Amino acid sequence: MAAPAFHLAFAVDDLVAAEAFYVGVLGCRVGRQTERWIDLDFWGHQLSAHLVPSSERAASSSHGEVDGDAVPTDHFGVILEWSAWEALRDRLRDAGIAFLLGPRIRFVGEPGEQATMFVADPSGNALEFKAYRHAEGVFA
């Protein structure tokens, strides 16, 4: 049996821009949609982007320290295979997407050694993409 998929609903202030980013840049597939929300296949997980005017969105600018980096506290993302992470890194660079935190390897030589990078979608939602050197490092 396949592993369970997660569902995450989040606010965006422009559905057209969100679709362009998640589908056109990240390669997600569109599921159901209305004029107020869009479901996206995010590497086998269901994201639901809901249209919420920016004036109604709660802004978070908090950061936490991780391996010397100021990481956005509010973020979501996906753990990829190493080669898929590298391909996405290159696709983001080629698309001219600005990194909140550029691609890097953290915890080098430790059980949780990982490649990581952060970007923001057009509505300012922070996304992290990571890959672990060793699969058992995800929860090590």
Which domains are assigned to the chain?
Answer: 7-53 (3.10.180.10), 65-139 (3.10.180.10)
Is pLDDT at 1 greater than 70 in this prediction?
no
Q: Is 39 left (phi over 0), alpha (psi -120 to 50) or beta?
A: beta
Residue 120 has pLDDT above 60, yes or no: yes
pTM of the predicted protein model: 0.89
Residue 24: Cβ-neighbour burial (10 angstroms; 0-12, 13-18, 19+) = exposed
With a cut of 90, say whether residue 70 has pLDDT above it: no
pLDDT in tens, 33-57: 999 999 999 999 999 999 998 877 7
